[in-house]
A and B are shown apart, each in its own frame.
Chain A
Amino acid sequence: GAGVSQSPSNKVTEKGKDVELRCDPISGHTALYWYRQSLGQGLEFLIYFQGNSAPDKSGLPSDRFSAERTGGSVSTLTIQRTQQEDSAVYLCASSPWGDQPQHFGDGTRLSIL
Chain B
Amino acid sequence: EDKVVQSPLSLVVHEGDTVTLNCSYEVTNFRSLLWYKQEKKAPTFLFMLTSSGIEKKSGRLSSILDKKELSSILNITATQTGDSAIYLCAVGRGTGTASKLTFGTGTRLQVTL
* A residues with CB within 8 A of B: 3-4, 31, 33, 35, 40-45, 48, 50-51, 53, 56, 58-59, 91, 95, 97-107
Contact A91 B42 (CB under 8 A): yes
Chain A residues whose CB sits within 8 angstroms of the CB of B31 once the complex forms: 99
Cβ of B98 < 8 Å from any Cβ of A? yes
Give the secondary structure class of B's interface: strand
Chain B residues whose CB sits within 8 angstroms of the CB of A31 once the complex forms: 97-98
Give the secondary structure class of A's interface: loop
Chain B, interface size category, equals 20 to 34
A-B contact pairs, 30 of them (CB 8 A): A4-B42, A33-B98, A35-B101, A42-B105, A42-B106, A43-B103, A44-B103, A45-B100, A45-B101, A48-B98, A48-B100, A50-B96, A51-B97, A56-B98, A58-B100, A95-B98, A98-B96, A99-B31, A99-B32, A99-B99, A101-B45, A101-B48, A102-B45, A102-B99, A103-B45, A104-B42, A104-B43, A105-B42, A106-B41, A107-B42
* B residues with CB within 8 A of A: 4, 31-32, 34, 36, 41-45, 48, 88, 90, 92, 94, 96-106
Contact A43 B88 (CB under 8 A): yes
Contact A106 B42 (CB under 8 A): yes
